Chains A and B, each alone.
Chain A
Amino acid sequence: MQDRPDAHELLEALELYLRGELLDAVAAEHRFGVRVAANVCAILARETAPLAPDRSAQAALAAEIRAGAWDERLPELAARLREEVRAKLAVDHPGWAD
């Protein structure tokens, strides 16, 4: 499961950039294309919003660790988290975990 920003939050940020910053900065002949790109981001943001993951298990694990429940088993926990982080990096930054 990826961290926030969720896919729809990234798409909303991209739409904001395209419409709010780039649109006025590009030459007139590119403005239509930038508007279409911003609209596509808005479509994908709406489409992916329901896919935002439930992070309650992650929050519960974080609270357990904070409370010291894993203190005697930190290496075991680290091995498990390493696999989870590796999976996140395969999306966020391929190659960082090599």
Chain B
Amino acid sequence: MSGLEQLRSEAERHLGAVSLSEPWPLAGGASRSLLGFDVEDGCGEKQRLVLLVTKGTAPQEWEALRAAHATGVAVAEPLWLSEDRSGVVMRRLEGEAIAPRILREEGFAAARGKLLAQLAAALAAIHSIPAAQVPSAPRRAGARGELDAIEAELDRLGDPHPTLELGLRWLRQRLPTGHGPALVHGDFRMGNMLVDEAGLVAVLDWELVHVGDPAEDLGWLCARTWRFGRDQLPAAGLGSREQLLATYREAGGADVGLEELRFWETLAALRWGVLTIRQLHEHLSGARPSLELAAIGRRTSEAEWDLLGMID
């Protein structure tokens, strides 16, 4: 059965759909694609949907989306996991996901006033989800596990960087006691938020969801790279670190201190540095020849500078 036939048959089974539009690409990447499509259900109602096609992460994304939706986190309502377990069908939502626009344009000024509190509350809710509800998510051993994974990745890439090694040593000397284990989104930054004039519409892209230390999401959200120039507002380009930690705590999140946040923010700079090298090597190895990936290789120095700025 073709992909489209499969989708038609699944839409019929799950929604009683009688007709299905030709899907069209909404966004894509090397490891995933997003297709928009509409169906008409048995009552003649048009339903706006998206199909997310992944490379192997659909089950954990499906479980995480379902649990997040049931907990009241703003997400696109997940409708079904495709039979071949490669894709997830969700309701299609309207909004803006291009972070620099959300952070700069006048039309989002009111949204910006609310977003930090909304992001903190969404994180607190995600972190409250019992890990057992997302059995397919990888389990990692908190801060030490993250550092071990980063070290292994650096060795695999074989492109040594003294500053990143310094970051690893510095962080290993300061391992926090930690919180959790909790469900961690894993890529919680402005570029993965769907936003409209009124504020947060949905938390997107659950590809990197895992079980670990919830403070990891707070540190990643504060990484300088995701502030898009609004460096005077370290928390996502929206507010102060103190505001983020206080609103997260008020929303039911763990009591994370500034020193602990600093650990995770430093780890975020280290992780971003390793990601730039990984992307470069996808180009250099011939796996994905791309000028964009080659150019990202010259952003490692940004991550190194940010990392050095975090340590004493």
Contact = CB atoms under 8 A, between A and B. Distances in A.
Nearest to B151: A66
A2 B163 contact: no
Interface string A1-42: 011110001100110110010000000000000000000000
A51 to B, nearest CB: 16
Interface string B276-298: 00001001100001110011011
Interface stretch (B70-78, B83-91, B114-122, B302-310): B302-310
A10 B295 contact: yes
Contact of A92 (B160, B284, B301, B308): B301
B162 interface: yes
B80 interface: no
Contacts of B280: 4-5
A1 B164 CA distance: 16
Given A9-B294, A77-B166, A92-B298, A85 B311 contact: no
Interface in A44-98: 55, 58-59, 61-63, 65-66, 68, 70-71, 74-75, 77-78, 81-82, 84-86, 88-89, 92-93, 96-97
Q: Report whether over half of chain B's contact residues are helix, strand or loop; otherwise say mixed.
A: helix
Interface string B144-170: 000000010000000111111110111
Q: Report whether over half of chain A's contact residues are helix, strand or loop; otherwise say mixed.
A: helix
B312 interface: yes
A62 B164 CA distance: 8
Most buried by A among B162, B294, B305: B162
Given A74-B170, A78-B308, A93-B302, A58 B291 contact: no
A96 B70 CA distance: 42
B169 A65 contact: yes
B30 to A, nearest CB: 15
B262 interface: no
Interface of A: 2-5, 9-10, 13-14, 16-17, 20, 55, 58-59, 61-63, 65-66, 68, 70-71, 74-75, 77-78, 81-82, 84-86, 88-89, 92-93, 96-97
Interface of B: 151, 159-166, 168-170, 173, 280, 283-284, 289-291, 294-295, 297-302, 304-305, 308, 311-312
For the complex of A and B, the 9 pairs showing the least CB-CB separation, nearest first, are A62-B160, A13-B294, A65-B165, A17-B291, A88-B301, A59-B160, A92-B298, A61-B162, A13-B291
8 contacts: A5-B280, A5-B283, A5-B297, A20-B289, A65-B162, A78-B166, A78-B170, A89-B301
